[in-house]
Amino acid sequence: MTTADPGPVLEVEALGMRFGGLVAVDDLTFSAQRGEITALIGPNGAGKTTVFNCITGFYRPTSGQIQARHADGATYPLHAMPGHRICEEANVARTFQNIRLFAGMSLLENLLVAQHNKLMRASGYTIGGLLGLPSYARAERVAVDLAKHWLQRVGLLHRADDAAGDLPYGDQRRLEIARAMCTGPVLLCLDEPAAGLNPRESRELNRLLVSMRGENGLSIVLIEHDMGVVMEISDRIVVLDYGRKIAEGTPSEIRTNPAVIAAYLGVEDEEVEQVEQEIRR
Amino acid sequence: MAVTTAQSGRAATVKSGISAAVADALIAAVIAMLLALPILTYKSVEQQTSLEVVSRWPWVLVGVAAVFIGRLALNLIWPRLGGASDGLARLGTVLARLFERVGGWRTAIGALLGLTLAASSAGWLATSRWLDLLLIVPLVIGVWRRSPAWLFLGLALFFPFAPGATRYYVENFGILVLIYVMLGWGLNVVVGLAGLLDLGYVAFYAVGAYAYALLAQHFGLSFWICLPLAGILAAFWGVILGFPVLRLRGDYLAIVTLAFGEIIRIVLINWQSLTGGPNGISGIPRPTLFGLEFKAEGGFADYFGLEHTSLHRIIFLYYIILAMALATNWATIRLRRLPVGRAWEALREDEIACRSLGINITNTKLTAFSIGAMFGGFAGAFFATKQGFISPESFTFWESAIILAIVVLGGMGSQVGVAVAALVMIGGTELFRDLEIYRMLVFGAAMVAVMVWRPRGVVSGRVPTIALGATRRIGSDLVKEGHG
């Protein structure tokens, strides 16, 4: 998208992850371009979430490398960084397949917790804040403004003071995205953002993600099962099956790739054509 | 067994037939019999030369019969009582709404203020009118700010001068309750906010107490210098303990902290050359008021031209611990609104999400642990100076259990709840001392009652630390308890 691009925002090289005898991800190589939406798809158990967990530091890969690259050219070896530093320094944020909000805290509090490191420094690692220094109050106002901005973007500003656990499912999904965005990410990893959403909510989500793409150089990697979402908003798609990459390309390329359809639906070759037509329709 | 009873109990309510009720009562009676046989049947009685075993079969029969009749009555009456308790709940809501309609806390505290002013002008309160201001001023602020907290503060400030507050009550009721309020607030940071189950909190209390006692004994340092040192030392031990164990979660963390509490106590018993072992340390110096001692000649009383009484020292101690507890409260409320406090609560809600947001979990847990430990250390130093004598006996697991019970019964994370629970539990046991061994029965029954009707503590749920509009309370069903 950009001409002065220092390279892809995320590079996964020969990534391998095994749990005992189970090989969850095997020799996976792909990259996500800056300012694009890259979708990671594949049948259940293909190892998509495992890849996410490796990228965001929840798992340490058995082999291979993961590198995040900022627009200024700085690179971060995500496979070797402790979990909390991946968000803080490499600016990679994520959401979870089974939503992980702070249910007993208000929406606003959820978004302030996301700005923890920034506020912690502003509060002089608590001491300045405890003494009531004005610099902390200022930083908190700025943080609240950012939180309000994102609440507005996801359409939840009117519920800012309600408990996050009180929100309906679709709103919780959007709040989780807003919370991840409050960390100021360069790369946003979304694990099934459209799961459990009704068609209307799903369309709203598409609009939100498309509007976020490229804004301040944001790149998105998402796992999704809802092909409507994937085909409509992704710039590139990576298809996994049994922990291996079986295809990579633009949505139109993927849509017509027989191997993908076969793997995805687990059908025999002769049925592929029929399925293909169904999907096109 | 309990499951069987519960199931048949439910069956009884569903069928609400007499036969089911009788069957259930019979099962309860059998369980009672199984329990009573080893406990009640035989008793060893000391004779002049030997021990003799006396059988008490009638006791067993009476016990079993009592359980049978009680259970039967409960089975027959409970379904009808269910309606009654619904009615009670409805009455509660109606009263609460009425309270709001009448004007809420402002009116209630205002009425109390009026009564206080009347009593003061009639001279029924403290010996000096000026002392009445200790109650009147907080009440005025309470009316202005519509906050019941000021009512409690006023009562706490005025307590030593209240009519009928003798030396005995100030020392054994007032000071004791406040020590536990402070310990409860300290542990509340760890258990209530950060959701880390700490069963060995008394260790930090002990570290604080021994730190002051030893520093005073060996280096002759005064209480006011040792107080911060005791807190820092306890916090230091909090970090020492926290560093290796905070990667554990839930039950495992609880067991390790429990063991740590015991280790500290056993070290205190066995390190005779330093701690004096089981004999403890005596002659711990009393705190001074800007260098004024509380003694018969040349002390506080002489300086202010008062008649010397030992009550002065007690009242002074009372205000020290009140100030310390209030400082703890102030610091906790403030910490909650800072990023570190929000991170503690977020950690209690979801540790994995915290990590994904770039929060350093180990550091955050360590700060909670060490700040909680620091408050425990302060309380320990105060305990040492108040008693003048400490020994490992004061720092048993029982203390940890009581402090934890205060936090859990009060409502984890709630400052007011913890204070109320400390008042009821510690104050209650002191007030019911006349009941002798049965006070523990009352105590146990009260705990069961709280757990049945308010399983998440007296004050459950939480108030958000920041709000764009009006602050709304978040119900306890959404707030998590943490997994350690």
CATH of the domain at A139: 3.40.50.300
Q: Tell the residue number behind the tokens 């510690």, with chain if given.
A: B426
User: Higher-confidence residue: B156 or A276?
Assistant: B156
Distance from the A130 Cα atom to the nearest Cα atom in chain B, whole angstroms: 6
Look at residues A281, A268, A177, A181 and name the one whose alpha carbon lies nearest to residue A227.
A281
**Partners of residue A237 on adjacent β-strands:** A39, A249
Contact A123 B340 (CB under 8 A): yes
Distance from the B180 Cα atom to the nearest Cα atom in chain A, whole angstroms: 24
Write the pLDDT tens digit of every residue in B30-78: 988 888 888 777 888 888 888 888 888 888 888 889 889 988 888 887 7
Q: Are residues A160 and A70 in the same domain?
A: no
**Count of CA atoms in the C-beta half-sphere (13 A) of B228:** 2
Mean pLDDT of B113-140: 73
- CB contacts of B338 in chain A (<8 Å) are 123, 126, 129-130, 136
Range of the domain at A201: 1-91+184-281
Which of B:441-470 have CB within 8 Å of A? Answer: 462, 464-470
Mean pLDDT of A243-265: 80
User: Higher-confidence residue: B443 or A5?
Assistant: B443
Contact B355 A85 (CB under 8 A): no
Q: Tell the residue number behind the tokens 């190892």, with chain if given.
A: A47
What is the C-alpha separation between B316 and B79, in angstroms, rounded? 54
- At residue B142's C-alpha, the angle toward residues B423 and A163, to 5°, is 75
Domain end call among A183, A199, A220: A183
What is the arrangement of strands in the sheet containing A22-32, beginning at the earlier edge strand? A22-32, A10-19, A63-69, A75-77
Helix axes B361-387, B176-187, angle to 10 degrees: 170
Pull the structure tokens for residue A21: 């005898």
What is the C-alpha separation between B428 and B423, in angstroms, rounded? 7
- CB contacts of B463 in chain A (<8 Å) are none
Write the pLDDT tens digit of every residue in A163-206: 888 888 888 998 999 999 998 888 899 988 888 888 888 888 88
Comparing alpha-carbon positions, the chain B residue that sits nearest to A183 is B357
Task: Provide the domain count of chain A.
Answer: 2
Local confidence band at B343 (pLDDT 50, 70, 90 cut-offs): very high
Write the pLDDT tens digit of every residue in B389-405: 888 988 988 889 889 98
Residue B257 above 70 pLDDT? yes
pLDDT of res. B207 = 93
Q: Are residues A235 and A120 in the same domain?
A: no
Domain end call among A154, A183, A212: A183
Burial class (CB in 10 A: 0-12, 13-18, 19+), B349: buried
Residue A28 above 50 pLDDT? yes
Residue B126 above 70 pLDDT? no
Look at residues B327, B344, B286 and name the one whose alpha carbon lies nearest to residue B182.
B327
Residue B97 above 70 pLDDT? yes
Comparing alpha-carbon positions, the chain B residue that sits nearest to A119 is B339
Q: Are residues A280 and A194 in the same domain?
A: yes
Considering Cα of A118, then A122, then A127, then A132, what sign does the dihedral take? negative
Residues B465/B337, Cβ–Cβ less than 8 Å: yes
Residues B11/B21, Cβ–Cβ less than 8 Å: no
pLDDT of res. B328 = 93
Domain end call among A183, A212, A245: A183
Q: Tell the residue number behind the tokens 């001074």, with chain if given.
A: B288
Contact A162 B472 (CB under 8 A): yes
Write the pLDDT tens digit of every residue in B219-239: 888 888 889 999 999 999 999
3-class secondary-structure state, position B468: coil
pLDDT of res. B189 = 92
User: Higher-confidence residue: B332 or A281?
Assistant: B332
Average pLDDT, chain B: 82
Average pLDDT, chain A: 83
User: Higher-confidence residue: A225 or A173?
Assistant: A173
Q: Are residues A76 and A209 in the same domain?
A: yes
Mean pLDDT of A128-141: 81
Mean pLDDT of B283-294: 77
pLDDT of res. A277 = 67
Q: Are residues A281 and A190 in the same domain?
A: yes
- CB contacts of A109 in chain B (<8 Å) are 342, 345, 464-466
Contact B357 A113 (CB under 8 A): yes
Write the pLDDT tens digit of every residue in B99-121: 777 767 777 777 777 777 777 77
Residue A21 above 90 pLDDT? no
pTM of the model as a whole: 0.81
Mean pLDDT of B414-437: 81
Q: DSSP class of residue B473?
A: P
pLDDT of res. B3 = 46
Q: DSSP class of residue A65?
A: E
Contact A161 B354 (CB under 8 A): no
Which range among B123-137, B163-177, B196-210, B279-293 shows the weakest confidence by mean pLDDT? Answer: B123-137
Considering Cα of B199, then B346, then B372, then B151, what sign does the dihedral take? negative
Mean pLDDT of B86-96: 74
Residue A118 above 50 pLDDT? yes
Q: Are residues A119 and A140 in the same domain?
A: yes
User: At B51, phi and psi to the nearest 5?
Assistant: -95, 140
Q: Are residues A60 and A115 in the same domain?
A: no
Contact A109 B480 (CB under 8 A): no
Q: Are residues A162 and A226 in the same domain?
A: no
Residues B28/B5, Cβ–Cβ less than 8 Å: yes
Comparing alpha-carbon positions, the chain B residue that sits nearest to A96 is B353
Which range among A224-233, A262-271, B296-305 shows the weakest confidence by mean pLDDT? Answer: A262-271
Provide DSSP, B459-472: S-SB--S--SSS--
pLDDT of res. A175 = 92
Contact B462 A94 (CB under 8 A): no
Residues B184/B421, Cβ–Cβ less than 8 Å: yes
Which amino acid, B320?
Answer: I
Q: Are residues A248 and A207 in the same domain?
A: yes
Q: Are residues A78 and A40 in the same domain?
A: yes
Of A96, A100, A109, the CB nearest to B465: A109
Contact A108 B475 (CB under 8 A): no
Q: Are residues A114 and A196 in the same domain?
A: no
pLDDT of res. B12 = 45
Could you tell me which residues come within 8 angstroms of residue A32 by beta carbon, excluding any fewer than 6 positions away?
A: A8, A9, A10, A38, A187, A219, A221, A236
Q: DSSP class of residue B461?
A: S
User: At B282, phi and psi to the nearest 5?
Assistant: -120, 175
Write the pLDDT tens digit of every residue in A48-59: 888 888 888 888
Contact A160 B469 (CB under 8 A): yes
What is the C-alpha separation between A226 and A189, in angstroms, rounded? 16
Q: Are residues A169 and A219 in the same domain?
A: no
Pull the structure tokens for residue A222: 């998402």
